[in-house]
């Protein structure tokens, strides 16, 4: 009986840390699952690159510096 | 490139699941097992169950502070 009481006093320290660790694990798991299920659209990627080129041309004509940052 | 994303996602979920099961087993199941069971050899002593997460959280905090300070210094040096 007494060793059960000792286990319970140890667990009052341990339980909040256990919940924090499990919350971190859950977040990481959700990130992993989202990465696995991420839908890629190759056609949209091509269209996006075309949009980027058009926008750069347009802004360069207007006089804005589009040479990239840093 | 989506295969690389899937591989990273799979690796992340595998790491998180294994950490969760190991830690759950360590904290919740092991205290109720007899002390002379063979399974105790695969787990560190129970004090480490508190020390390791606290230490990891502190390392994460230090890393975040150092990173923020580094970025602030770099932006101030560029402006001056």
Structure confidence at residue B61 as a pLDDT band (50, 70, 90): very high
Across A5-19, A22-36, B1-15, which has the greatest mean pLDDT?
A22-36
Cα three-residue angle B10-B13-B18, rounded to 5 degrees: 125
Cα three-residue angle A58-A63-A69, rounded to 5 degrees: 85
The pLDDT of residue B73 is above 90: yes
- ipTM score assigned to the predicted complex: 0.71
Phi/psi at A41 (5° precision) = -120, 100
Which tokens go with A40? 């890629």
Q: From the candidates B13, B18, B60, which should be mutated to test the interface with A, based on the most A CB atoms within 10 A?
A: B13
What angle do the packed helices A2-36 and B2-24 form, to 10 degrees? 170
The pLDDT of residue A27 is above 80: yes
Tell me if chain A has a CB within 8 Å of the CB of B21.
Answer: no
Least confident of A43-47, A65-69, B38-42, B45-49: A65-69
**Residue ranges per structural domain of chain B:** 1-43, 45-80
The pLDDT of residue A26 is above 80: yes
pLDDT in tens, A29-56: 999 988 888 777 888 888 999 999 998 8
**Residue ranges per structural domain of chain A:** 1-38, 39-70
């Amino acid at each position: 009986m007494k060793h059960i009481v000792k286990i319970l006093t140890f667990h009052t320290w341990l339980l909040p840390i256990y919940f924090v660790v499990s919350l971190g694990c859950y977040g990481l798991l959700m990130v992993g699952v989202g990465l696995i299920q991420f839908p890629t659209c190759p056609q949209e990627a091509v269209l996006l690159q075309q949009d980027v080129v058009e926008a750069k041309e347009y802004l360069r004509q207007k006089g804005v510096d589009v040479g990239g940052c840093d | 490139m989506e295969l690389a994303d899937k591989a990273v996602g799979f690796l992340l979920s595998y790491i998180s699941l294994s950490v969760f099961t190991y830690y759950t087993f360590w904290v919740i199941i092991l205290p109720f097992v007899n002390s002379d069971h063979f399974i105790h050899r695969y787990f560190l002593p129970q004090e480490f169950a508190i020390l390791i997460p606290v230490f990891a959280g502190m390392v994460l905090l230090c890393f975040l502070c150092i990173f923020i300070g580094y970025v602030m210094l770099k932006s101030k040096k560029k402006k001056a």
